Amino acid sequence: MSRLIILISGRGSNMRALVEAGLPVAAVISNRADAGGLVWAREHGIATEVIDHRLHVDRPSFDQALAETIDRYRPDVVALAGFMRILSAPFVERYRGRLVNIHPSLLPAFTGLHTHERAIEAGVKCHGATVHLVTAELDHGPVLIQAIVPVRQDDDPERLAERVLRAEHIIYPRAVRWLLEGNLDMTGDHVRTRDAQPQYLWADGSAEGL
């Protein structure tokens, strides 16, 4: 049976979406003991672990401890769900092709933080979210699926963020399921679903309840 590990640092709303989609979550791991998502995971009978980054002298030491904990569960896929630590190149390479992240923008646009504010300031008409395989370059890597969320004239960052998050909760479980089921082919940085499922979602107010 396939096994999924989820890494979180906070409330874990995308973690909840993955669990509620019925994916085979073996454990939830956080770098913060006070992460709200850990409480929810425990209440739902999911194993949890804490690897506190503050107890490690440097990033390689933390990454090694994190990897050793992950490997105990023999995961097929490791999903970052609001995990607020930059991972080292050796860690990323260790899980190459199995480490996936969701980012609140249409990558390669707006890497990094404060994506909703920057999208509004830039005057773009479409924003959204991207699920991608993780590479050593921050917020880069082969795209698995994207959700396109129109930017409305009266949007502020909070309203836009709320709609993007709803889209994230749809596309992240889809992409992780594709990985777990081996439903993806990759040529270079281009990823295709083997059964031709669409790798985009129009979140325009009419698609799938958004």
Number of structural domains in the chain: 2
Q: Which two tokens stand for residue 115?
A: 């994506």
Do 47 and 20 fall into the same domain? yes
Do 77 and 132 fall into the same domain? no
pLDDT at 6 over 70: yes
How much is the mean pLDDT over the chain?
Answer: 95
| pLDDT tens for each residue of 44-69 | 999 999 999 999 999 999 999 999 99
Options 53, 103, 116, 127, the catalytic residue? 103
Contacts of 7 (CB under 8 A, 6+ apart): 28, 29, 30, 31, 66, 78, 79, 80, 81, 83
Q: CA 107 to CA 128: how far, in whole Å?
A: 9
Asked if 18 contacts 79 with a C-beta cutoff of 8 angstroms, the reply is yes
10 Å CB burial of residue 73 (0-12, 13-18, 19+) is middle
Domain boundary among 77, 95, 113: 95
Asked if 4 contacts 178 with a C-beta cutoff of 8 angstroms, the reply is no
| pLDDT tens for each residue of 129-184 | 999 999 999 999 999 999 999 999 999 999 999 999 999 999 999 999 999 999 99
Do 112 and 86 fall into the same domain? no
Residue 147's domain spans which residues?
102-210
DSSP state of 195: T
Domain boundary among 66, 95, 124: 95
CATH number of the CATH domain containing 60:
3.40.50.170
Is 0.75 topped by the overall pTM?
yes
Do 135 and 200 fall into the same domain? yes
Do 136 and 55 fall into the same domain? no
Rg of the chain taking only CA atoms, in angstroms:
17
Q: Which residue shows structure tokens 């890597």?
A: 141
Do 35 and 128 fall into the same domain? no
pLDDT at 85 over 90: yes
Do 153 and 189 fall into the same domain? yes
Confidence of residue 208 (pLDDT cuts 50, 70, 90): very low
Do 143 and 208 fall into the same domain? yes
Domain boundary among 95, 113, 132: 95
pLDDT at 18 over 50: yes
Do 89 and 8 fall into the same domain? yes
- Residue 132 appears among annotated catalytic residues: no
Q: Which two tokens stand for residue 207?
A: 């698609």
pLDDT at 1: 76
